[in-house]
Amino acid sequence: MRSRYSAYVLQLHDYLLATWHKSTRPESLEDSPTRWLGLEVKRHALDETDNNAATVEFVARYRTEGRGHRLHEISRFVREDGRWYYVAGDFS
């Protein structure tokens, strides 16, 4: 999760797409005027029945168009061939 956040900060679209699971990956990403301000990982856990699945709860703070925001998400990841991929997230 931290590496994906850093990739958003640096707008490293190739990295973001490479770490996004093929079942939910967008075709492309666009540059954004978003200024990322910080990441707090609240918790992370392996799935109790499948250690190739995990969740990460985080809060990311950002500023866009002069206004501050926070993104609270519980992200789902899967591990394939030893690598973790972002699948999707639920926002609150």
Q: Look at the chain and report how many structural domains it folds into.
A: 1
Q: What is the pLDDT, as a whole number, of residue 92?
A: 87
Domain that holds residue 11: 2-91
pLDDT grade for 16, boundaries at 50, 70 and 90? very high
Cβ partners under 8 Å of residue 68, min gap 6: 37, 61, 62
* pLDDT score of 39 more than 90: yes
Backbone phi, psi, residue 57, to 5° = -100, 130
Q: Tell me, what CATH number does 18's domain have?
A: 3.10.450.50
- Residue 69 tokens, joined: 């925001």
Mean pLDDT of the chain: 96
Q: What share of the chain is helix, strand, coil (3-state, %, to 5)?
A: 15, 50, 30
Residue 74 pLDDT class (50, 70, 90 cuts): very high
Q: Which residue, among 9, 1, 2, 7, has the nearest Cα to 62 in the 3D structure?
A: 9
